[in-house]
Structure 1
Amino acid sequence: MFEISQLRCFVAVAEELHFSRAAERLNMTQPPLSRQIRLLEHQIGVQLLERTSRTVRLTAAGKAFFPDAARILRMAEEAAATARRNAKGEKGSLSIGFTASFGYKLLPEIVRHLRELAPDVSLTLKELVTGAQLEALHSGVLDIGLVRPHNHEGELETALLGSEELYLAIPRQEADHWPEQPGLDCLHEKPFLMYSPYEARYFHDLLSGCFLQAEVLPQIVEYVAQIHTMLALVKSGIGVALIPKSACSLHFEGLLLRKVLTHPAKPVQMAYSYRKDNHNPALETLLQEVLPGFMAELMD
């Protein structure tokens, strides 16, 4: 069977219709070029070029062979380029898990930057709670998970992405009943919407610890798993709630959001996890060229 190098020689001569120009274009001398053409014709079993001392013309077989030869050459070059882009993390696929609150602001920004850097990478986005993401990482379903801090997993690499403040969500009609710069103490014995200890365990444990440290006992009226549901209940006047800053992009009419003074000032932590043995080049692009910029911003 003929070789790609032989096709490259034939296509150059067919396009130039001149051996000297084709040889110059390929950075080779004319004798090896002529030899490659003869080997190609021998492999195919037909004459492709008519040569005289002054002219070069395609035979009927050469004219028929040329379009397919050029197409095969393009496909080979594209395949090589694809392999190089995959190796550089500029092409391929990447599966990203995220919790709901990451999806409000941070995830769209990460996806935007990744697409600018590597537009040919195919993305799969899966909204899952942290526990489900860890299982998907172990099984190889996910390449990376945007998660809340969790217990160390031996085969997973986990790093802190950043942290953010808590905001108090109150009904607009009750604005005068709440301080402009609220602290946790203003929630003592007040109707409060708490995160579910099962579906939203991280936020449940975080707020429970904050309240214990501040010696605050809110009046918990409901346990809620999703932030958007929590905000809808706040709007209805059932109680108030604490949400991470990233969720402030959920605009609910009739609500006010006020930053809460806490110690530390940014108690909500964001992390990412991936398998240590995952060598997906697209993952390396995300880890090395996309996430560091967000980490610098979120750590300020």
Structure 2
Amino acid sequence: MIEIRLLRQFVAVAEELHFHRAAERLHMAQPPLSQAIRRLEAEIGAPLFVRNNRNVALTLAGVSFLETARNVLGALETGVEQARRVASGTSGSLKIVFVGTLHFNFLPRVVQAFRSRLPDVELTLREATTTEQIAALKAGLADIGLMRRPGVAVPELVFERIAREEIMVALPEGHAQAAKQRVPLAALAEDDFIATPRSEGVGFYDQMIALCNAAGFSPRIVQEARQIETIAGLVAGGLGIALVPASVRQGLRDGIVFRQIVVEGTGDASFLDVLAAWDASRPTPARDKFLDIVRTTSSLIS
């Protein structure tokens, strides 16, 4: 293997066509430089220079090798600079998984801020349930997840609350409680409920059940759907009601209204936490830059 140092020395002599000037340019003595070029020629197996007492010139092999040496050194410099940028988090790629409701307003704000500050980082975004996100993070298929509380212990990951979101009730337009701005949850005890399956998000599901229990009833869940848009469509179609994050209002559709719920004595239980989650054992500088931006985004989603 030819040393990078020899390539730099060869290029200096080839550009100067003068060993003394090349040695000065390299901040070294001339005899070691001459020895280095002879060693390079021995490794290649061909003379690279024609030398006499008055002139130094490149051979045909030297002309050919000069192009190669410049390309190698240029690629090395580019690679070093790229590695430094990746290490600083200003370049590279970042794979993000997120729960669907965040795409209404929170995620676009964060992504826009990130792109404006770090345009050279390639972002890959994929919607996924909390359960799917945890699996992706543990398998190294994602760098960061934006999720609800998982409802189970996941010691392999770090979790940080980055925002809160109010829980609202989605009602068909013609519902008896639709005229109110704030609806007592107890007033919905006889309604049919639509929800995401517990297996897709234990934390949110259990929080919904706990709120209903605090209001004095157990919800009668008649339909389940994985996507929040599907749940909204079922509500608009009159198949039931649903407890949903407030951000769903941003995708408001005909035939559905969203109202605040009232459950006495539950305090923050009527708010959903949005968590960032990541595997700290996998250092990802771009992820750390993304987290900095996420932390400065409004803490209450509406």
Establish whether residue 275 from structure 1 lines up as the match of residue 297 from structure 2. no
Match of residue 228 from structure 1: 229
Could you report, residue by residue, the CA deviation over 1:39-73 in whole angstroms, capped at 9, with x for unpaired residues?
32233233323456665432222112111111122
Report how far residue 254 of structure 1 moved. 4.5
Aligned residues of 1:97 and 1:144 also touching (Cα < 8 A): yes
Query: AA paired with 1:158?
Result: F
Does the C-alpha gap of structure 1 residues 183 and 293 become closer, same or farther in structure 2, counting only changes over 3 Å? farther
Query: AA paired with 2:276?
Result: Y
Query: AA paired with 2:5?
Result: S
Match of residue 299 from structure 1: 299
Could you report, residue by residue, the CA deviation over 1:218-253 in whole angstroms, capped at 9, with x for unpaired residues?
665534332111111222233443321333333434
1:43 & 1:95 partners in 2: Cα distance?
Answer: 45
Aligned residues of 1:169 and 1:255 also touching (Cα < 8 A): yes
Match of residue 39 from structure 1: 39
- Partner SS state of residue 165, structure 1: strand
Aligned residues of 2:165 and 2:246 also touching (Cα < 8 A): yes
- Partner SS state of residue 285, structure 1: helix
Of 76-85 and 112-121, deviating more is 112-121
Q: Give TM-score, length-normalised by structure 2.
A: 0.76
Match of residue 72 from structure 1: 72
Does the C-alpha gap of structure 1 residues 9 and 274 become closer, same or farther in structure 2, counting only changes over 3 Å? same
Task: Report the identity percentage.
Answer: 37
Query: AA paired with 2:272?
Result: V
Does the C-alpha gap of structure 1 residues 193 and 135 become closer, same or farther in structure 2, counting only changes over 3 Å? closer
Q: Superposed, which structure 2 residues align to 1:75-224 within 5 Å?
A: 75-91=75-91, 94-113=94-113, 125-149=125-149, 150-171=151-172, 177-182=178-183, 184=185, 187-190=188-191, 192-215=193-216, 221-224=222-225
Show structure 2 runs of 5+ residues with no match.
none
1:157 & 1:97 partners in 2: Cα distance?
Answer: 15
Report how far residue 291 of structure 1 moved. 1.5
Does the C-alpha gap of structure 1 residues 66 and 214 become closer, same or farther in structure 2, counting only changes over 3 Å? same
- Partner SS state of residue 71, structure 1: helix
Match of residue 244 from structure 2: 243
Show structure 1 runs of 5+ residues with no match.
none
1:290 & 1:161 partners in 2: Cα distance?
Answer: 12
1:173 & 1:12 partners in 2: Cα distance?
Answer: 83
Match of residue 6 from structure 1: 6
1:193 & 1:289 partners in 2: Cα distance?
Answer: 38
Aligned residues of 1:163 and 1:266 also touching (Cα < 8 A): no
Does the C-alpha gap of structure 1 residues 297 and 13 become closer, same or farther in structure 2, counting only changes over 3 Å? same
- Partner SS state of residue 153, structure 1: coil
Of 57-66 and 33-42, deviating more is 33-42
2:179 & 2:23 partners in 1: Cα distance?
Answer: 82
Could you report, residue by residue, the CA deviation over 1:115-152 in whole angstroms, capped at 9, with x for unpaired residues?
55555555554543323433444444444333321332
Aligned residues of 1:184 and 1:216 also touching (Cα < 8 A): no
Report how far residue 290 of structure 1 moved. 1.8
1:153 & 1:218 partners in 2: Cα distance?
Answer: 28
- Partner SS state of residue 233, structure 1: helix
2:153 & 2:298 partners in 1: Cα distance?
Answer: 22
Query: AA paired with 1:246?
Result: S
1:175 & 1:66 partners in 2: Cα distance?
Answer: 83
Report how far residue 166 of structure 1 moved. 2.4
Could you report, residue by residue, the CA deviation over 1:189-219 in whole angstroms, capped at 9, with x for unpaired residues?
4554344334343332212222222446766
Report how far residue 178 of structure 1 moved. 2.0
Query: AA paired with 1:161?
Result: I
Could you report, residue by residue, the CA deviation over 1:159-212 in whole angstroms, capped at 9, with x for unpaired residues?
222211123434456699422344545545455434433434333221222222
Query: AA paired with 1:231?
Result: A
Does the C-alpha gap of structure 1 residues 164 and 31 become closer, same or farther in structure 2, counting only changes over 3 Å? farther
Q: Give TM-score, length-normalised by structure 1.
A: 0.76
- Partner SS state of residue 198, structure 2: coil
